[in-house]
Amino acid sequence: MAKIRVGIPGALMYYLYFPLWQVFFNELGAEVVTSGRTTRVLLDHGVREALADACVPVKVFFGHVMALKDKVDYLFIPRVVCLNRRTVYCPKFLGLPDMIRHSLPGLPPIIDERMDVRAGRAALFRAYRRIGSSLGVGPLLVVRALARARRADARYHSLLLDGWRPPEAMTAVPAMPKEGRKPDLTFGVLGYPYAVYDDFLNAGLLEKLKRLKVRALTAENLAPGRLAAQTYDYSKRLFWTFSDQVLRATHLLFEEGKVDGIIHVSVFGCGPDSITDKMMELKAKLHRAVPFMTLIIDEHTGEAGLTTRLEAFADMVRRRKETVPCSR
Amino acid sequence: MFKVTFPRMGQSYLAFQMLMNDLGHEVVLPPRPSKQTLDLGVRYAPEFACLPLKILLGTYLEALGAGADTVVTTGGIGPCRAGLYAGLHERILADLGYRMRMIVLEPPRWRPLEFIRQLRLLNQAHLSLRAYWEVIKKGWGKLRALDNLEKLSHQVRPREIRQGDTNRAYARAVSMMSEAYTPAAILEAEAAAAALLRAVPQDPVRPTVKVGIVGEIYVLLEPAANLEIEETLGHLGVEVERSMFLTGWTRDNTWTETTHGLTVREAAIPYLPELIGGHGRDSLGHTVLYAKRGFDGVIQLAPFSCIPEIVARTILPRVSSDWNIPVLTFFLDEQTAKAGMTTRLEAFVDLLQRKKELWRETTPAPPKGRYFT
Ligand code: SF4
Ligand code: SF4
**How many domains would you assign to chain A?**
2
Find the Cα–Cα–Cα–Cα dihedral B39, B42, B44, B48, rounded to 10°: 180
| Cβ-contact B299, B251 below 8 angstroms | no
Residue A174 counted as domain residue: no
As for the ipTM of the complex, it is 0.89
Full-model pTM: 0.90
Strand order in the sheet with A110-111: A31-34, A5-8, A74-76, A110-111
> Tens of pLDDT along B303-326?
988 999 999 999 999 999 999 999
Whether residue A258 sits in one domain with residue A134: no
Q: Note whether residue A170 is domain-resident.
A: no
**Spatial distance between the Cα atoms of A227 and B92, rounded to a whole number of angstroms:** 25
Domain boundary among A132, A161, A190: A161
B88 touches A275 (CB < 8 A): yes
Note the pLDDT tens digit of each residue in B131-182. Answer: 999 999 999 999 999 999 999 999 999 999 999 999 999 999 999 999 999 9
User: From the CB of A277, is ligand 1 less than 6 Å away?
Assistant: no
Q: How far apart are CA A321 and CA A328, in angstroms?
A: 10
Is residue A113 within 8 A of residue A79, CB to CB? The reply is: yes
Ligand (nearest to CA of B75): 2
Instruction: Band the pLDDT of B251: cuts 50, 70, 90.
Output: very low
Whole-number average pLDDT of chain A = 89
Decide if A51 is inside a domain.
Answer: yes
Report which residue type is found at A35.
S
Distance between CA atoms of residues B264 and A312, nearest Å:
53
pLDDT tier, A173 (very low <50, low <70, confident <90, very high otherwise): low
Are residues B274 and A102, on separate chains, in Cβ contact within 8 Å?
no
- Expressed in angstroms and rounded, the spacing between residue A272 Cα and the centre of ligand 1 is 7
Residues A78 and A39 in one domain: yes
* Cβ–Cβ gap A95/B274 under 8 Å: yes
pLDDT at A176: 61
pLDDT reported for residue B238: 92
Q: Which residues of A touch B46 (CB under 8 A)?
A: 274-275, 277-278
pLDDT band at A177 (very low <50, low <70, confident <90, very high): low
On whether residue A171 sits in a domain, the answer given is no
Per-residue model confidence (pLDDT) at position A178:
59
Residue B75's pLDDT is what? 79
Same domain, A254 and A120: no
A19-33, A57-71, A174-188, B77-91: the lowest-pLDDT one: A174-188
* Exposure b/e, B181-201, CB count within 10 A at least 16 = b: eeeeebeebbeebbebbeebe
Tell me whether residue A215 is in a domain: yes
Say yes or no to pLDDT of A215 above 50.
Answer: yes
Contacts of B77 in chain A (CB under 8 A): 236, 239
pLDDT band at A1 (very low <50, low <70, confident <90, very high): low
pLDDT band at B250 (very low <50, low <70, confident <90, very high): very low
Contacts of B34 (CB under 8 A, 6+ apart): B224
What percent of chain A clears pLDDT 90, i.e. is strictly above it?
56
Separation between Cα atoms, residue B309 and residue A240, nearest integer Å: 17
Q: Do both A185 and A157 map to the same domain?
A: no
Residues of chain A whose beta carbon is less than 8 angstroms from a beta carbon of chain B are: 50-51, 53-54, 79, 81, 88, 90-92, 94-95, 98-99, 102-103, 114, 234-236, 238-240, 268-275, 277-279, 282, 285
Q: Assign 3-class secondary structure to B61-78.
A: HHHHHCCCCEEEEECCCC
The answer, for B43 touching chain A at a CB cutoff of 8 Å, is no
Q: What's A25's domain CATH number?
A: 3.40.50.11890
Confidence at residue A326, expressed as pLDDT on a 0 to 100 scale: 52
Let me know whether A120 and A267 are in one domain.
no
**Pair (A187, A315) in one structural domain:** yes
Kindly state whether residues A206 and A318 are assigned to the same domain: yes
**Containing structural domain, residue A54:** 5-161
Same domain, A244 and A122: no
Does residue A96 register a pLDDT over 70? yes
Confirm whether A169 is domain-assigned. no
Q: Is B274 on the interface with A (CB under 8 A)?
A: yes
The SS3 of residue A267 is: strand
Backbone phi and psi for residue A74, each to the nearest 5 degrees, phi listed first: -135, 150
Which one of A161, A191, A217 terminates a domain? A161
The answer to whether residues A23 and A151 belong to one domain is yes
Distances (CA, A) of A313 to A75, A201, A289, A308, A326: 42, 20, 14, 9, 20
Sheet holding B209-215, edge to edge: B238-242, B209-215, B297-303, B327-332
Cβ–Cβ gap B317/A102 under 8 Å: yes
Closest CA to B233 of B287, B299, B294, B291: B299
Nearest residue (CA) to ligand 2, atom 1: B278
Q: Are residues A10 and A156 in the same domain?
A: yes
pLDDT-above-70 percentage for chain A: 95
**Total residues found in chain B within this entry:** 373
Q: Which ligand sits nearest to residue A90's alpha carbon?
A: 1
Question: Which ligand minimizes its atom distance to the CA of A265?
Answer: 1
How many CB atoms neighbour CB B348 within 10 A?
20
Contacts of residue B131, Cβ cutoff 8 Å, sequence gap at least 6: none
Closest CA to A247 of A222, A280, A218: A280
- Ligand 1 touching residue A271 (CB < 6 A): yes
User: With 70 as the cut, is the pLDDT of residue A290 above it?
Assistant: yes
Pocket test for ligand 2, best of B77, B80, B217 (most atoms within 8 A of CB): B80
Q: Least CA distance to A50: which residue of chain B?
A: B314
The CATH number covering residue A211 comes to 3.40.50.11900
Examine the domain organization and report whether A213 and A314 are in the same domain: yes
Q: Where are the beta strands (DSSP E) in B255-316?
A: 297-303
Q: What is the DSSP string of A129-196?
A: HHHHHHTT--HHHHHHHHHHHHHHHHHHHHHHHTT--HHHHHSSS--PPPP-SPP-EEEEEEE-HHHH
Same domain, A85 and A143: yes
* Inter-residue contact B325 to B303 (CB < 8 Å): no
